[in-house]
Amino acid sequence: MEKMVIIGSGPAGLTAGIYAARADLSPLLLAGTLPGGLLTQTSEVENFPGFRQGINGYDLMIEMQQQAERFGTRIEYEVVAGAALTDGCVQTLTLESGEKIETKTLIIATGASPRWLGLPNEERLKTHGVSACATCDGAFFKNVPVVVIGGGDSAMEEANFLTRFASEVIVIHRRDQLRASKIMAERALNNPKIRFVWDSKVVDVLGETEVDGVIVENIKTGKQSEIACKGYFAALGHDPNTGLFRGQIDVDSHGFILLKDGKSCTNLAGVFAAGDCADNAYRQAITAAGMGCRAAMDAERYLEMMKQ
Ligand code: NDP
């Protein structure tokens, strides 16, 4: 029987590992399908405190991993295939290999996955101009045009943010109405550096080694045209990686795990959540790390309470 199992190896999971290991709990961390999490897919991380010159996303995650291992976090490169969760009793996980793991406490730090259009060239040019995070990558696009795909709050927020750097921000939306809240929409509509291309879908991303433009198709007329740009920001929403726990853990209408009492507790005693899988508002490396710290401390206190 494990004292603590952490699912996920992004900033939330690894920070939980650091705190739990330093509390002598010898946590088992299951790294999942993308060891190191989404940050391993970004280039330079310039907003994680402590790195004045910025740090490569992959290197940051290696540092966190080695820090967690240094204190005794046991990292296994396993994928969880099933979970049988209880309210305050043993939590049972089944790995893809078929192995079963039982634990007194579980920290879910499975992250969220950005939605993509699924175009082959979008995939090929990721980190070469294609991004799903303006906060992470916007500053690399100074005085060049960029496109933002989507019409929700994320798209408006990213578009507004990108106007600080880009020469022009072109929002491409598949309808003629925004989904975004009124205030966010108005801010973007009134921003002179933002241009809207309505009723249009992106059908291809252009560029050999980095993004040079996109081909858009007007949905109503079928007419295709080219828009030159150096940055391509998908703002199509995120899907939390919580499918494994549906029906057992309380989630919001988007599938993000609901936390209780201003802490990292879920509706099930002994099960905690941290990072993007439980955060539909911020989704930053530093906020995920903070949530991982909270989850480890909450789980540690829970284990102490169970001893009494
Ligand atoms: P949303 O799901 O709200 O918006 C996604 C957008 O992407 C929609 O406009 C949608 O178009 C478009 N889209 C989705 N799939 C495709 C596709 N295949 N092709 C073309 N377009 C597509 O996600 P957000 O991330 O914007 O927001 C998620 C939640 O987070 C919301 O509740 C939002 O309010 C909140 N949020 C709040 C913020 C704030 O208050 N500061 C900032 C960011 C998010 P369509 O409209 O046609 O469906």
Query: Ligand 1 centroid vs 110 CA: distance in angstroms?
Result: 21
Distance from chain centroid for Cα 52: 23
Q: Which residue has the tokens 């509509």?
A: 189
Last residue of a domain, one of 234, 257, 291: 234
pLDDT band at 283 (very low <50, low <70, confident <90, very high): confident
Q: Which atom of ligand 1 is nearest to the CA of 175?
A: 47
- pLDDT averaged over every residue in the chain: 95
Residue 37's pLDDT is what? 87
- Enclosing domain of residue 162: 116-234
| 98 and 33 both lie in a single domain | yes
**Average pLDDT of span 155-172:** 96
Of the candidates 107, 36, 102, 37, which has an alpha carbon nearest to the alpha carbon of residue 263?
Answer: 107
Q: Is 298 annotated as catalytic?
A: no
Between 43-52, 191-200, 282-291, the lowest mean confidence (pLDDT) is in: 43-52
| 126 and 157 both lie in a single domain | yes
| Interstrand relation of 100-108 and 2-7 (parallel, antiparallel or unpaired) | parallel
Query: Ligand 1 centroid vs 271 CA: distance in angstroms?
Result: 29
| 99 and 166 both lie in a single domain | no
**Average pLDDT of span 110-114:** 94
H helices within the chain, ranges in order?
11-22, 57-70, 120-124, 134-137, 153-162, 182-189, 285-307
Catalytic residue among 24, 87, 89, 136: 136
Query: Ligand 1 centroid vs 106 CA: distance in angstroms?
Result: 30
Whether residue 152 has its Cβ less than 6 Å from ligand 1: yes
Whether residue 157 has its Cβ less than 6 Å from ligand 1: yes
Last residue of a domain, one of 193, 213, 234: 234
Residue 105's pLDDT is what? 98
- Write the single-letter amino acid at 289: A
Give the separation between CA 118 and CA 130, rounded to whole angstroms: 12
| 6 and 89 both lie in a single domain | yes
Written as six digits, the tokens of 26 are 């010898």
Distance from chain centroid for Cα 254: 14
| 108 and 123 both lie in a single domain | no
pLDDT band at 43 (very low <50, low <70, confident <90, very high): low
Check pLDDT > 80 for residue 308.
Answer: no
Measure the CA angle with vertex 142, ends 137 and 143; round to 5°. 145
Q: Which atom of ligand 1 is nearest to the CA of 201?
A: 20
| 73 and 168 both lie in a single domain | no
Contacts of 35 (CB under 8 A, 6+ apart): 9, 77
Q: Atom 48 (ligand 1): residue with closest C-alpha?
A: 179
Whether residue 13 has its Cβ less than 6 Å from ligand 1: no
pLDDT band at 249 (very low <50, low <70, confident <90, very high): very high
| 190 and 291 both lie in a single domain | no
- Report pLDDT digits (tens) over 60-93: 999 999 999 999 999 999 999 999 999 999 999 9
List C-alpha distances in Å: 222 to 41, 210, 215, 216. 34, 27, 12, 9
Whether residue 175 has its Cβ less than 6 Å from ligand 1: yes
Number of domains into which the chain is organized: 2
Q: Is 133 annotated as catalytic?
A: yes
Whether residue 187 has its Cβ less than 6 Å from ligand 1: no
pTM, rounded to two decimals: 0.80
| 104 and 246 both lie in a single domain | yes
Strands (E), the chain: 2-7, 28-30, 44-45, 55-56, 74-76, 80-84, 91-95, 100-108, 112-114, 130-131, 145-149, 168-172, 194-197, 200-206, 213-218, 224-228, 231-234, 238-240, 271-273
| 292 and 276 both lie in a single domain | yes
Residue 125's pLDDT is what? 97
Read off the CATH number of the domain in which 95 is found: 3.50.50.60
Query: Ligand 1 centroid vs 152 CA: distance in angstroms?
Result: 4
**Average pLDDT of span 270-291:** 95
pLDDT band at 269 (very low <50, low <70, confident <90, very high): very high
Residue 270's pLDDT is what? 98
Q: What percentage of the chain exceeds 70 in pLDDT? A: 99
| 145 and 95 both lie in a single domain | no
Last residue of a domain, one of 234, 254, 282: 234
Residue 135's pLDDT is what? 85
pLDDT band at 278 (very low <50, low <70, confident <90, very high): very high
**Average pLDDT of span 274-302:** 96
| 246 and 106 both lie in a single domain | yes
Residue 222, burial from CB neighbour count under 10 angstroms (0-12, 13-18, 19+): exposed
| 100 and 155 both lie in a single domain | no
What is the DSSP track for 177-190? S--S-HHHHHHHHT
**Ligand 1, from 147, 174, 198, 204: best to mutate by most atoms within 8 Å of Cβ?**
174
pLDDT band at 136 (very low <50, low <70, confident <90, very high): confident
Q: Is 136 annotated as catalytic?
A: yes
